[in-house]
Amino acid sequence: MNSNENIEPILVTGAAGFIGAALVKSLLSLNLKVIGVDNINDYYSTTLKRSRLKEIEEVSENNGIWFFHQIPIEDNELFSNIIQKYNPKVVVHLAAQAGVRYSLINPFAYIQSNLVGFSNVLEGCRQNKISHLIYASSSSVYGGNKSLPFNEEQPVNHPVSLYAATKKSNELMAHTYSHLYDLPTTGLRFFTVYGPWGRPDMAPMIFANAILKNEPIKVFNYGKMQRDFTYIEDVVQGIIRCCYKQANTDKLFNPAIPNPSTSSAPYRIFNLGNSNPTDLTYFIELLEENLGKKAKKQLEPIQPGDVVSTSAKMDLLYSWVGYKPSTSLEKGISLFCQWYLDYYKSDINKI
């Protein structure tokens, strides 16, 4: 990666989000011009999102060029104007209504953000002849599939949550644009991302908060769950590697036996996970060890929309960009807890 010529400038949606903010900081450290877009919605703490943006501002003082626009991607005109103004070569689309369980409560939010919003991103890329669209998919698309590890050549036609269904829909929509308009698209299926600046609705933050407050934590499926926890910086590096390699057509693609991860169009799908599924109980033990307190566990049945286990096969991404995550859960949880204790040291209740 000796030249940044092919990916400057770059637009990141969801720039105030967990993954988005971490990506922006890394891109700025490469002295790139980065345009961030985020609506700063109140699904979770806007204070945390503003804090992430402050961190980005501090990085940008000495590295790269940073522009930020607080707009919703659901507004097609506003988003299109941003693309036209900056003419990015690459768009990394991370904005979405996140969370499996919340999709059971407020499905409309997922339709608007993950489907309407994504269609606006695709149209903006098409109309402005963007060189490459990279977008966030999810391990949730594997749904009812119980063949582990999950690999990209498996069919993903049985989602078990609306969130997963919208992410699968994103992959289908992207393929259509790749096929019809020759728009290179790369979809990355993230596997349980965790680390500093994480989302408060995810297990690391929920558990850490409860442990420090001496409150019970709900352990679903009675603790008999596994997740392929993937450290945030590993995810960021995987995204950046893909920025440097545009999706292309698969010359070996056989329409008689279609491979879901490639196409005769410039379209690719990759897992981005740690390839090391961990028992939920061990994950909790690491939090206890690093926080110096024991958890009060409240065992519960599995939640609707949840899956018991996730595990990523990483051969495809490794063969494509020569990268796979390497941060151990022990190291990642240690770094997360260090950040958590520092960020919330003055007021644990502000989570």
| pLDDT tens-digit readout, 319-334 | 999 999 999 999 999 9
pLDDT band at 346 (very low <50, low <70, confident <90, very high): low
What's residue 348's pLDDT? Answer: 53
Angstrom distance (rounded) from CA 233 to CA 325? 9
Confidence (pTM): 0.94
| pLDDT tens-digit readout, 240-286 | 999 999 999 999 999 999 999 999 999 999 999 999 999 999 999 99
- Tell me which of 4-13, 41-50, 206-215 is least confident: 4-13
| pLDDT tens-digit readout, 63-99 | 999 999 999 999 999 999 999 999 999 999 999 998 8
Mean pLDDT, range 127-152, rounded to an integer: 93
- 154 or 104, greater pLDDT: 154
**What is the DSSP pairing of strand 132-138 with strand 90-93?**
parallel
User: Which of 44, 110, 142, 163 is labelled catalytic?
Assistant: 163
- Look at residue 6 and tell me whether its pLDDT is greater than 60: no
What's residue 350's pLDDT? Answer: 55
Q: In the predicted model, what is the mean pLDDT of the chain?
A: 93
Among 256, 263, 268, residue whose Cα is nearest residue 189: 268
**DSSP count for the chain of H helices, then E strands:** 12, 13
- Look at residue 3 and tell me whether its pLDDT is greater than 50: no
The separation between CA 288 and the C-alpha centre of its own chain, rounded to angstroms, equals: 26
Query: Catalytic residue at 86?
Result: no
Mean pLDDT, range 36-45, rounded to an integer: 95
| pLDDT tens-digit readout, 280-303 | 999 999 999 999 999 999 988 988
- Look at residue 34 and tell me whether its pLDDT is greater than 80: yes
- Look at residue 1 and tell me whether its pLDDT is greater than 80: no
Quick check: 283 and 328 in contact, CB under 8 A? no
What are the helix (H) ranges across 87-161? 102-105, 107-110, 117-127
Mean pLDDT, range 169-185, rounded to an integer: 98
| pLDDT tens-digit readout, 197-229 | 999 999 999 999 999 999 999 998 888 899 999
What's residue 286's pLDDT? Answer: 98
Half-sphere exposure (Cβ direction) of 113: Cα atoms closer than 13 Å: 26
Half-sphere exposure (Cβ direction) of 65: Cα atoms closer than 13 Å: 8
Q: In what helix (H) or strand (E) does residue 296 lie, and over which residues does it extend?
A: strand 296-300
Q: Three-state SS across 7-67?
A: HCCEEEECCCCHHHHHHHHHHHHCCCEEEEEECCCCCCCHHHHHHHHHHHHHHHCCCCEEE
- Look at residue 235 and tell me whether its pLDDT is greater than 80: yes
What's residue 5's pLDDT? Answer: 46
Angstrom distance (rounded) from CA 329 to CA 335? 10
- Look at residue 12 and tell me whether its pLDDT is greater than 50: yes
| pLDDT tens-digit readout, 104-130 | 888 999 999 999 999 999 999 999 999
